[in-house]
Structure 1
Amino acid sequence: MAQGFAAAYSLDCDEVLDVLKERETLGSTGFGRGVAMPHARMDAVEEPLAMLIHLDRDVDFDAADGIPVRLVMGLISPTDAGAQHLHALAAMSRLTRDERVLHRLFDSKSEEELFAIIANSGLREAA
C-alpha cells in the first residue's frame, strides 16, 4: 500500500509506511467482510488520497470478524483534515456494506473494472 501511494502520488514510501504502521498499532484496520481500510494522516498531502488494492490471495489482517482480507481500501489525508478524513472513511464503509458492490469488487478482474465499479458508486466524491 505504501509503495502504491508513493508511486501514484509522489510521496515518500518510508513516510507513508511509517504513518500507516503507526495507525495500525492503535488497532487493526481490518474492517471485516474481507475488507481492510488502512488510513492515516500526514503533513505531506494537501487533500485526501485514496487507493484500492485487490489482492491475489486472502491475507490475515486481524479483522474483528476473523475473515481474511481480499480488498484493501487505503486513505491518506492531510494532518488537519479531521471531518473530511472521517467523511471519506464513512463513504468507503458504506460502499463495502452494499452487498452487490462488494461482490462486484471481489469478482473484478482488472484495474479498469475496479475503477468502473468505484466510479459508478459515488465514492469518488467522498474524498
Structure 2
Amino acid sequence: MSDLSDLLSDRAIDADLVAANKKGLFQQLAAAAGRLTGLPAKTIAASLNAREKIGSTGFGGGAAIPHGKIEGLDNVFGFFARLETPVDFQSIDNMPVDLVFLLLSPPDAGADHLKALARVSRIFRDSQTVAKLRGARSRDAIYALLAGGEARDAA
C-alpha cells in the first residue's frame, strides 16, 4: 500500500474541489498550496503552467500529477484534490481528470522530485486505490488511503 505521509499532510487534501477548467484548477491548487507553504500562489501557478506547456501532466484514467519546481521550498510538497466535476486536461487517453496530485519541489531536488512522481504514479496506476479514492467519503479517509494507516480498510 502507499505511504505518502512524507509528502502530504492531512490538511493538504481537498475532497470536493470545484474548478471549471484546467486553468481554474491550477489557480485553486496554487492558492491552496500557497496557504500551506507560505509561498505566493502566483509563483506556484506560473510554475505549473510552464510545466504544462511542455506536455500535459494528465496521467490517464482520470488522474493528473501537475508538478513544478519552486524557489523557497525546503522539501517536496504534495497536495491532493478530488474534483467535484472532472475537467478536460488534454490527458494521454483524453479522459477528463477528477483526481489530482500536485507536487512541488525545490529547484535542486532532482532525484527526490522524480522519486515522488514515481510514487504518486504507482498509486494512480492501482485501479483499486483509485476506486477507493473516488469513493472515500471524507478528507480523513483519503488521507488514510494516501498516507497509509489503519483507517484505509474502513475507507
Give the TM-score of the pair, scaled to structure 1.
Answer: 0.92
Gap runs ≥5 in structure 1:
122-127
Give the aligned partner of residue 125 of structure 1.
none
2:36 aligned partner, one-letter code: A
Instruction: State how far apart, in whole Å, the 1-side matches of 2:64 and 2:148 are.
Output: 21
Residue 91 (structure 1) shift: 0.2
Measure, in 1, the Cα distance between the counterparts of 2:78 and 2:147.
Answer: 13
Greater RCO, 1 or 2 (C-alpha within 8 Å, sep 6+): 2
1:54-104 per-residue CA deviation (whole Å, 9 max, x = no partner) reads 100011000010111000100000001001100000000001111111100
Number of matched pairs? 121
* Other-structure match for 1:87: 115
Which residue of the partner structure matches residue 97 of structure 2?
69
Runs of 4+ in structure 1 over 4 Å off = none
- Structure 2 gaps of 5+ residues are 1-28, 150-155
Q: For residue 31 of structure 1, what is the aligned residue in structure 2?
A: 59
Shift, 1:9, TM fit: 1.5
Answer with 76-85 or 108-117: which moved more.
108-117
Aligned twin of 2:74: 46
